């Protein structure tokens, strides 16, 4: 199959085949980062703009490294330094970036649906680097890529996602991606952090961490954000750790080689103990490495598709 989308906005809209294509492409790109010269000219002359309305070091750096390994030029725009503060609308900002003849906007935004909206108003490619509570497709893709690399498959795996599901774009993208590829997904969180009707996304729900770990091949642990405007059900961090934190004791009761993932940055002693984070189950740093390959694949595929769309329009 061929990739035909100029944008990557979320995993909900992707088919199983499209997900497979990104993962397979990422596999090829992983080799590039192992070379002495970690660079290919695939996106030479292309400009990637990282447009970040929310502070994020990891995702932005990962995209920047990915773009640079493809020989693209990278421009970073953060809200603090841009005209966004002066009240420019998102569409105006997008059109301005388009007028600079950039080719791809990688956007992080605090409002759900922002990437979808932007993509409707610009002809350049839009890659969603996280929008509100909606989706964070490349994070989920790198999680899935890492799982597949470790376990050889996705189909039939039991994957548990633990933490603030209600406010997590990482959870949503993982759920869409994993279920499409045939994994069984369980979400585990305090009741108030489970969004309504989440079962309709095809997942099991539990509030018992041991239950969530019991048959899991992998557990994806979300970052808890206690600072969020009084919405978190667990005011006390230690209390959360006691009830939901991943510890070695808990893992002893799980499958012997259960994989522990975390999108980072980790709150040690809140979501998981240091022993778990640094232990043999953890693939957290491999996730970071794989993030580059996945993002290279995504940037390459959307750029290629958009080039084709533009050529067809001028024909």
Partner 1 sequence: MREKAKILDKDAIARTIIRIAHEIVERNKGIDNLCLVGIRNRGVYLAQRLAACIKNIEGQDVLTGSLDITLYRDDLALASGQPLVRKTEIDFDINAKNLVLVDDVLYTGRTVRAALDALVDFGRPKSIQLAVLVDRGHRELPVRADYAGKNIPTSKDETVEVRLEETEGRDEVVIIEKG
Partner 2 sequence: MKILIKSGRVIDPANKIDGIMDLLVEDNKISKIARNIKPEADKIIAAENKMVLPGLVDMHVHLREPGREDKETVCSGTQAALRGGVTSLLAMPNTTPAVDSVGHLKILQEAIKKGSRANVFICAAITQDRCGQEINDLTSLKKEGVVAISDDGASVDSDAVMLKAFQRAKEEKLLVICHSEDKELSRQGVVNLGFTSTRLGLRGISAESEYKRVTRDITLAKETGARVHIAHVSCQESVEIISRAKKGGVKVTCETAPHYFAFNEAAVLGYDTNFKMNPPLRSKEDMLAIRKALGDGTIDVIASDHAPHTENEKDIEFERAECGVVGLETELAASITELVGNNLFSWEGLVRAMSLNPSRILGISKGTLSAGADADIIVVDPDKAWVVRKEDFLSKSQNSPFLGRSLKGYVEYTFCQGKVHKWNS
Residues found near partner 1 in the complex (CB under 8 A):
1-3, 21, 24-25, 27-29, 31-32, 35-37, 39-43, 70, 297, 300, 303-305, 307-308, 310-311
Q: Which of the stretches 128-136, 145-153, 180-188, 288-296 binds partner 2 when contact is defined by CB under 8 A? A: 128-136
Smallest distance, Å, CB 41 to partner 1?
Answer: 6
As annotated, the active-site residues are: 58-59, 86, 108, 136
Q: Closest by alpha carbon to 142, among 297, 17, 252, 308? A: 297
CB of 66 or CB of 90, closer to partner 1: 66
CB of 25 or CB of 232, closer to partner 1: 25
The interface partner of residue 31, options being partner 2, partner 1, none and the CB cut-off 5 to 8 Å by kind, is partner 1
The interface partner of residue 112, options being partner 1, partner 2, none and the CB cut-off 5 to 8 Å by kind, is partner 2
CA–CA dist 164, 132 (Å, integer): 13
CA–CA dist 134, 131 (Å, integer): 6
CA–CA dist 212, 231 (Å, integer): 24
Q: Residue ranges of the alpha helices (H) in the chain?
A: 16-32, 58-69, 90-99, 114-121, 137-151, 169-180, 209-214, 237-244, 248-252, 274-277, 284-314
Q: Verify binding: residue 89, partner 2, rule CB under 8 A.
A: yes
Q: Verify binding: residue 202, partner 2, rule CB under 8 A.
A: no
Q: Closest by alpha carbon to 97, among 137, 50, 59? A: 50
Interacting residues toward partner 2 by CB under 8 A: 12, 89-91, 109, 111-114, 116-117, 131-135, 169, 172, 195-198, 200-201
């Amino acid at each position: 199959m061929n990739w035909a989308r100029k944008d990557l906005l979320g995993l909900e809209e992707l088919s199983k085949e499209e997900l497979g294509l990104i993962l397979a492409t990422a596999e090829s790109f992983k080799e590039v980062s192992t070379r002495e010269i970690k660079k290919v000219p695939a996106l030479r002359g292309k400009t990637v703009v990282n447009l970040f309305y929310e502070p994020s070091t990891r995702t932005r750096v990962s995209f920047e490294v990915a773009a640079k390994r493809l020989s693209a030029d990278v421009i970073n725009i953060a809200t603090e330094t841009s005209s966004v503060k002066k009240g420019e609308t998102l569409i105006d900002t997008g059109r301005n970036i388009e007028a600079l003849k950039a080719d791809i906007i990688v956007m992080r935004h605090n409002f759900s649906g922002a990437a979808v909206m932007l993509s409707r108003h610009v002809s350049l490619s839009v890659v969603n680097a996280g929008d509100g509570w909606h989706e964070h497709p490349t994070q989920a893709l790198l999680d899935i890529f890492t799982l597949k690399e470790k376990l050889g498959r996705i189909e039939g795996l039991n994957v548990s996602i633990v933490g603030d599901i209600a406010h997590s774009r990482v959870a949503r993208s993982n759920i869409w991606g994993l279920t499409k590829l045939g994994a069984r997904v369980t979400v585990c969180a305090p009741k108030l952090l489970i969004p309504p009707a989440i079962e309709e996304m095809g997942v099991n729900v539990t509030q018992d961490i041991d239950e969530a770990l019991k048959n899991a091949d992998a557990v994806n642990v979300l970052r808890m954000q206690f600072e969020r405007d009084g919405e978190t059900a667990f005011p006390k961090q230690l209390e959360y750790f006691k009830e939901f934190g991943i510890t070695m004791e808990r893992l002893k009761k799980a499958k012997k080689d259960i994989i522990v993932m975390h999108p980072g940055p980790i709150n040690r002693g809140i979501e998981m103990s240091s022993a778990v984070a640094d232990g043999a189950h953890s693939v957290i740093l491999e996730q970071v490495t794989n993030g580059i390959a996945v993002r290279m694949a995504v940037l390459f595929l959307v750029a290629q598709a958009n080039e084709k769309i533009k050529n067809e329009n001028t024909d």
